[in-house]
Amino acid sequence: MYNSIKHAAGLKRASELKTRIQEYLDIEKTIETGFRMKERNRINKERILEYFQAKESDWNRWSWQMKHRISDVETLKDLLPLSNREIEEIRQISQEFRWAISPYYLSLIDPENYRNSAIFKQAVPDIKELQDHSGHEDPMAEADTSPAPTITRRYPDRLIINVTNQCGMYCRHCQRRRNFEQKDTHASMANLVLALDYVRSNTEIRDVLITGGDALMLSNSVLDWLLSELDKMEHVEIKRLGTRTPVTLPQRITPELCAVLARHEPLYINTQFNSPLEVTLEAKKACDRLVKAGVVLGNQAVLLKGINDNAHVMKKLNHELLKIRVRPYYIFHAKQVKGTAHFMPSIETGLNIMENLRGYTSGLAIPTYIINAPHGYGKTPLLPNYILSLDEKELIIRTWENRIIRCENVPGSEEDLFVAN
C-alpha cells in the first residue's frame, strides 16, 4: 500500500535538495562554454583564416596549425586589439620567455573582452611573469629525480619519459617553462633507447607516462615505435600519454594517429582542460576519435587564479568534460614555478571548491585535489575535513550538508592494521 506519510517526507527532502543547487543553476546560465560560444568561435576562425589567406582545409591540418602558431606581437596585434602598453610589455617578455599560440586556440578568445578571457590569460604573456622572483625553475626537482636520460622517477612502480619540449601552445602556467628554450627539440633517439633500457632493466615499473612538452608532438612513426617497445616488456602493464592537443590543437587527433594508438592498448591519455570555454565541438570530435580507438581519457586541470578558481566554474567544466567522455581525474594546485605567481590561488580556495563539489554533483564529476610536495616527493591529496572523531567504538563524520552523524565502528583484527614506517 502507498505510504502517504513517506511520500510527503520524500517531497520535503527533494525540495531541500533543489534549494541547495539553486545558486549554481542560476549562475550556470551565465558561464560561457565552448559549445555555447560556437558561433563566436566560428566568426573568429573566419577572421584568422582571412588574415593568413587560408582555407578550411588548411585549418583542419595540424601541420598548418603548427606552422602558423602566433609567436610574435606584430601578428598578435593584428588579430587582437592590443593596447600600445600591452604590445610593449609582450615585446619585453618575449626577450625572456618563449610563447606561441595555435590559430585554433586563438579563435577561442573573445576579442571584445580579451583581457578577462580564460583563454587569453593562459596563452598570452603577462608582464607579471617578469615581476615574479618567488618561484623556482624546477620546483619538482626533476633534474634530481632522473636516473637515466629523459626519465623522471618519483614513485616505486611508475615513471615519466620526457620526449620533447614542443607543444601546440606554450601555457603561461607550465611547470616546465625552463624547457621552452628558443626552439622545438625532441629527445634524441639515442636517449630514448637509454630510457627504454632503464625501463626494461627495472621490472618493478608497471606504468610508463610519455610526456614532454606534449607527447603527441612526436610523429606517428616514432610514437608507434616507442609504444611497441614498451608493449614488448611484460612488466609494463599500462602506457599513458600526457598531451594538451585535444585542448589547444585538436587537429592533431587524426584518423592515422588513432590507428596507431589503437594498436597499443591498454593506453590512457591525461589531458588538461582548465576552462569550460575549451570544451568545444572540435575538442569533442578529437575525444570521440580517441575513445573509439580504445583510449581511456582523463583530465588533469590546474587550479588557476582568474581562470577556474570558482566552484561553479569548476563544476561546469567537469560537467562539460563528462559530456565528451573525459573523466575529471585531478585538480592540481598550481606549482610555484618562476614567472607564474599571479596564477597561484590559496589552498583554501581549492578546498572550498572540493566542498562545493562533493554531494552537489555526481562522483564522476569530482576529481581529486592534489598538491605536489616540493623537491619531487610526489602528489598528496587534499580534502575538506569530514572525519571529526574516530576511536575503536565510534566514527563521527560531517556530511556534505554539514550534518553531524555518528557511525558505529567495528574493530578489525590485528591483521587489518597497517603501521607506516
Per residue in 304-326, pLDDT (tens digit) is 999 999 999 999 999 999 999 99
From first to last of its 421 residues, the chain has per-residue pLDDT tens of: 567 778 888 999 999 999 999 999 999 999 999 999 999 999 999 999 999 999 999 999 999 999 999 999 999 999 999 999 999 999 999 998 899 999 999 999 999 999 999 999 999 999 999 998 887 777 777 778 899 999 999 999 999 999 999 999 999 999 888 777 778 899 999 999 999 999 999 999 999 999 999 999 999 999 999 999 999 999 999 999 999 999 999 999 999 999 999 999 999 999 999 999 999 999 999 999 999 999 999 999 999 999 999 999 999 999 999 999 999 999 999 988 888 999 999 999 999 999 999 999 999 999 999 999 887 788 999 999 999 999 999 999 999 999 999 999 986 644 444 444 4
Domain range summary for the chain, segments of one domain joined by +: 38-126, 142-381, 387-416
Report pLDDT for 416: 47
Report pLDDT for 420: 41
Report pLDDT for 135: 79
Report pLDDT for 2: 63
Report pLDDT for 109: 98
Provide the whole-model pTM: 0.94
Three-class HEC string of the chain: CCCHHHHHHHHHHHHHHHHHHHHHHHHHCCCCCCCCCHHHHHHHHHHHHHHHCCCHHHHCCHHHHHHCCECCHHHHHHHCCCCHHHHHHHHHHHCCCCCCECHHHHCCCCCCCHHHCHHHHHHCCCCHHHHCCCCECCCCCHHHCCCCCCEECCCCCEEEEECECCCCCCCCCCCCHHHCCCCCCECCHHHHHHHHHHHHHCCCCCEEEEECCCHHHCCHHHHHHHHHHHHCCCCCCEEEEECCHHHHCHHHCCHHHHHHHHHHCCEEEEECCCCHHHCCHHHHHHHHHHHHCCCEEEEEEEECCCCCCCHHHHHHHHHHHHHCCCEEEEEEECCCECCCHHHCCCHHHHHHHHHCCECCECHHHCCEEEEECHHHCCEEECCCCCEEEECCCEEEEECCCCCEEEEECCCCCHHHCCCCC
Report pLDDT for 182: 73
In CATH, 142-381 is 3.20.20.70: yes
Report pLDDT for 211: 96
